[in-house]
Structure 1
Amino acid sequence: MSTRTEPTKLNDEPGHTIPRLLRHYPKSFLKLILVGFLLAALPLIFALIYSAVSIDRLANQSRETVYQAEQIAHGSRVLVNEVSAMERSVRLSLILGDASLLKGYFQAHTKFESTAENLATLSLSADQKLLLNSLSASERTIFQQVESARQSPKELNKWVGDFIPLLDAARNFLAQGFVPIEREVNAMQEMAGRARQIVIWQLLALIPFAVLLALGFSVLIARPIRQIDEAIRHMGQGELSQTVTVEGPQDLRRLGGRLDWMRRRLLELEEQKIRFLRHISHELKTPLTSIREGADLLVEGVIGELNPEQKHVAKILLGNSVQLQVHIEDLLNYSALQTEKSILVGHKVELRPILDKVLQDQHLAIRNKGLRVDLACADLTIECDEQKIRIIVDNILSNAVKFSPLNGHINIRASQVNEHIQLDMLDAGPGVAPSDRDKIFDAFYQGHRTPQGHIKGTGLGLSIAREYALEHGGILELVEHAGTGAHFRLTLPANHTSSAA
């Protein structure tokens, strides 16, 4: 687990693209979602309400127009009918000389007057009003004349002819009754056109506004979720130096505080683990050095010759102490990487002597398994930290030796490719399981394919080797190839400026 990543701010800068009012979060995430949907829907709801009101107003005006037109048309027909009825009554009274027949005239006259009064209250055009007034005046003149001649029906002969222009005027008024209908229809069409234009402009204005509101609230809703996701991802990658800050509703901010508390606890545990590894490694290194030196003296016969059985036991003791010292050095190197105390000391060195030195250190393990090592290395010069490059090669070779079968074969090739030095190491072991490929360089990870009869390692060798390769600006990778065994490739720049890790 690494804590070396530079702190970065998880929360976004306060919304340059979000209005200030939108940055006042509700107390809960659910309320934020409801407010967002409500505000995004309000413009469209307003447009729908306005459209409904406009349609209702247009419908009311249509009903009123139809009613007015029907009243005018009905009244106009009544006027024509009553004028005709009055003329018939006068003519019958004149022909038969019976004054009692004028009763129908007076009834028609009464209905004519009431109808004319009702028409006068309707929304008539100016021409219709003039025509109605003229028609009413002519009818009243005839009525006065008929009233004066009521006792002598023969005098009605003088006024019978006046009904003809009156009837023509009534028919003319009936024809004029369609004019307000056309006028109202045109007015409704204009009103409908204006309402349609207003609705269109409202939609053109409100739909983008609703979209902007939806986008704004999407950002507000997605921001705390994204911050929580980033915090979990960083903690999952072991990057514990970043403070978890979540902006949003109160419940999500509380969740962010819990995540930050978890981060601090993990960081404390990581620091405790590193201190433990550092202390235990230092405590074991001193006595182990004494054990190794003593076993070496026994094997070399400095304190006296040993019989074959004693010498075999001494070699086992020496070999295992060497392996144990390698593990302790791995723990110390890993501890230095985690506490950022690893420093590159770069200078130009020959690559071949480094490879020969590593092979010499691994000679005992190679000979015990009867392995054959083929080394192909041209005269290559590289600017690097010699000790760390030796550790990289030693860890890769240790891995190859550990997994190689008895009497197996290890192939080492070094060459220069453009501005980079490329080192390939292939063994004849079981290779890396597909499920282990993405985790093989993780610290403390142990693959599924563990060789029998071998002391279990710490799982730090390849992790440290990759970290050192990255410090040099290079890469250590597992290369897919046909056949058995594992193929590791170390690629380093030929010239690398010395720098702190």
Structure 2
Amino acid sequence: MKPEPGILHIAKNVILVSLALFICWTGAFYITRSAYSHIAWQPHELIAFLINAMLGFILFGLCITIIGPLVKGREYEFFNELIEALKRISRGDFRVNLDSTLAKRKGRQGHDHPFAQLVEGINDMAANLKVMEELRQEFISNVSHEIGSPLTSISGFARALKDTTMDQEKRDQYLTIIETECVRLSRLSDNLMKLAVLDSSEHASQQTSYRLDRQLVTLVLSCEPQWDDKKIEMNVELEEVEIVADKDLMIQVWINLIHNAIKFTPKGGKIDIFLTQSEDEVNVRITDTGPGIAPQDQPRIFERFYKADQSRTRTAGGSGLGLSIVQKIVEMHDGSVSVSSEPGEGAAFTVQLPICSV
């Protein structure tokens, strides 16, 4: 078996140090022997041994002091580069990309050497932090945009209401718009809070065993005023299924998907909800007859704040967070959510969940 590079490195250092000590002690022996002959003094064996040992260590220290910086200069330079890279990262500069051959150039051979792994680890950390920073900036930009738009509307219409000559009909219209924008801001705040809680590692999932089909029926009936007002045909076909999951979180999943289907289904349209069970998995499929989602938008439909050009427009009143919340909760239950759609032919969202999630 080939010895580990780290063991060979330690063995080499031990041999070099031992050789250096041997040379220094040998030199100390001849120096003291010459000194004794000049002063005509022959000390006791123990005293001579201690003097030789001490002088040998002094010579070894002098050699290290003189030669050390010359030998270790490359290693110091290596650590200085690492320290400078870490300082840049601590200041928020994540454009750090150390040369992958840095450890080899500084006399540390081998891809598996700890120094080489350290260089790769710093590069990976900087790359991950850079991605997180870009996502953070994009998130802040999206939140600012989503908040700024309704605030602008509220401010504009509030100023317009100061006009005492305005007729009551237009005044009521402006007040309705202000109320709608306030509701939109409240919904955005609630969704952001939900995402913050779900993203937090402190979120405690309280999983229980319950009938999923009964939960879906209850939620469909609770949404009846919305789909009945649009004369939507609601077709519900559910198998009797019992799962182990966080009941409250799953309510949020189905509410978001059902509300989306109602929102984008035109008057007189149709929504289908199917629940089926296999050996160790359940499938919930919710389809609508809305405008559908373009193929180029489907891979990004679950991104936060993302809105497809046709189906997820501002006029529909969405913030682009509902499907992100759905995906987050489903993934917390070791499941998956997907979408299939063709423009003009509606959309179908499928949630797959293990019967007993971890």
Give the TM-score normalised by the residue count of structure 1: 0.38
CA distance in 2 between partners of 1:399 and 1:374 (Å): 16
Question: Which of 88, 94, 101 lines up with 1:248 in the alignment?
Answer: 101
CA distance in 1 between partners of 2:355 and 2:320 (Å): 29
The worse-fitting range, judged by mean Cα deviation, of 326-335 and 342-351 is 326-335
1:410-437 per-residue CA deviation (whole Å, 9 max, x = no partner) reads: 1111122222221110000121211012
- C-alpha contact 1:410 1:428 (8 A) present in aligned 2: yes
Q: Provide the residue aligned with 1:413 in structure 2.
A: 274
1:344 is aligned to 2:205: yes
> SS where residue 450 of structure 1 aligns?
coil
> SS where residue 434 of structure 1 aligns?
coil
- C-alpha contact 2:312 2:320 (8 A) present in aligned 1: no
Q: Provide the residue aligned with 1:54 in structure 2.
A: none
> SS where residue 435 of structure 1 aligns?
coil
Q: Provide the residue aligned with 1:457 in structure 2.
A: 318
Unaligned runs of 5+ in 1: 1-14, 22-240, 282-310
Question: Which of 219, 244, 247 lines up with 1:383 in the alignment?
Answer: 244
- Look up the equivalent residue of 1:425 and give its one-letter code: I
> SS where residue 282 of structure 2 aligns?
strand
Please tell me whether Structure 1 or Structure 2 has the larger radius of gyration of its CA atoms: 1
CA distance in 1 between partners of 2:343 and 2:191 (Å): 31
1:370 is aligned to 2:231: yes
Q: CA 1:410/1:323 → structure 2, altered by over 3 Å: closer, same or farther?
A: farther
CA distance in 1 between partners of 2:173 and 2:231 (Å): 16
Aligned-residue offset at 1:343: 2.5
- C-alpha contact 1:274 1:338 (8 A) present in aligned 2: no
Q: Provide the residue aligned with 1:474 in structure 2.
A: 335
Aligned-residue offset at 1:387: 0.9
More strand by share: 2
- C-alpha contact 1:277 1:332 (8 A) present in aligned 2: no
Q: CA 1:326/1:244 → structure 2, altered by over 3 Å: closer, same or farther?
A: farther
CA distance in 2 between partners of 1:369 and 1:404 (Å): 9
CA distance in 1 between partners of 2:194 and 2:120 (Å): 37
**Greater relative contact order (CA < 8 Å, ≥ 6 in sequence):** 1
1:422 is aligned to 2:277: no
Q: Provide the residue aligned with 1:447 in structure 2.
A: 308
- Look up the equivalent residue of 1:248 and give its one-letter code: T
CA distance in 1 between partners of 2:240 and 2:174 (Å): 40
1:230-249 per-residue CA deviation (whole Å, 9 max, x = no partner) reads: xxxxxxxxxxx9x9776324
1:493 is aligned to 2:346: no
CA distance in 2 between partners of 1:464 and 1:244 (Å): 34
CA distance in 2 between partners of 1:453 and 1:276 (Å): 17
1:311-337 per-residue CA deviation (whole Å, 9 max, x = no partner) reads: 999999988776654433321121123
* Correspondence list, 1:91-110, <5 A: none
Give the TM-score normalised by the residue count of structure 2: 0.52
Q: CA 1:384/1:244 → structure 2, altered by over 3 Å: closer, same or farther?
A: farther
1:212-236 per-residue CA deviation (whole Å, 9 max, x = no partner) reads: xxxxxxxxxxxxxxxxxxxxxxxxx
Unaligned runs of 5+ in 2: 10-93, 106-115, 147-171
> SS where residue 374 of structure 1 aligns?
strand
Q: CA 1:434/1:265 → structure 2, altered by over 3 Å: closer, same or farther?
A: closer
More helix by share: 1
Q: CA 1:451/1:331 → structure 2, altered by over 3 Å: closer, same or farther?
A: closer
Report the identity percentage.
Answer: 21
